A and B are shown apart, each in its own frame.
Chain A
Amino acid sequence: EDKVVQSPLSLVVHEGDTVTLNCSYEVTNFRSLLWYKQEKKAPTFLFMLTSSGIEKKSGRLSSILDKKELFSILNITATQTGDSAVYLCAVETGGYNKLIFGAGTRLAVHP
């Protein structure tokens, strides 16, 4: 059965800290891995990763994929309280873009 596992499940840090969120997967027919940020509303798209070893960056956020070891990490540097959210990892699989989600990592950034 396809599965996506995220760790840690929750994380509490102070502003300015750097955090690393982990996502491992076991799926058939891997297409891509996506990261979403979910506050109290719609998950918002962050990154799509398809190739190993190529880092994607957007401001203080970056992510990389390892297709050999079947995992991805999401890094957030110099965290701010606005980064507080649930970060979802999803893997696209199958003949169309069906997404399998992990349970999410709940990040709380305290002032």
Chain B
Amino acid sequence: NAGVMQNPRHLVRRRGQEARLRCSPMKGHSHVYWYRQLPEEGLKFMVYLQKENIIDESGMPKERFSAEFPKEGPSILRIQQVVRGDSAAYFCASSLFSRGLAADTDTQYFGPGTRLTVL
């Protein structure tokens, strides 16, 4: 059973360009979470999605950032007009359920991350 897949693993963009980060959840998982990790900091929640629905985007900047999880295909985190401060590692996680019951089936499993560098 393949784990959470993310691509690309490394992405370099110039200021003003767009960055597209992709995440394929574990097989059977329909809940996806995106986190950002700045250097020397912990992971910060950005957005939680189910298929075709954004459930909670409270951690995502209001401008330039968007996320989607279509019926078919991977989840996409899109950053428009990137700035140097967007340089970070972006991690995706998936879970089987997300019921807030602290159950093993709700455990989030992480992908290897995409390291975005903005020049």
B residues contacting the other copy or chain, number (CB 8 A): 30
Contact B3 A42 (CB under 8 A): yes
The reply to whether B100 and A94 contact each other, CB–CB distance below 8 Å, is yes
Scan B30-45; emit 1 where CB is below 8 A from any A CB, else 0: 0101010000111111
Q: A41-B113, A42-B3, A43-B91 are in contact. Are A48 and B102 (CB under 8 A)?
A: yes
Q: Chain A residues with Cβ under 8 A from B102's Cβ?
A: 31-32, 48, 50, 92, 97
Chain A contact residue count (CB 8 A cutoff): 27
Cα A45 to Cα B109 in complex, Å, equals: 7
At the interface, is chain A mostly helix, strand, loop or mixed? strand
A residues 17-56 in Cβ contact with B at 8 Å: 31-32, 34, 36, 41-45, 48, 50
Q: How far is the CA of A48 from the CA of B100 in the complex (A)?
A: 13
What are 18 A-B contacts defined by CB distance under 8 Å? A31-B100, A36-B110, A41-B112, A41-B113, A42-B3, A42-B91, A42-B113, A48-B107, A50-B102, A92-B102, A96-B48, A96-B98, A97-B98, A97-B102, A100-B45, A102-B42, A103-B40, A103-B42
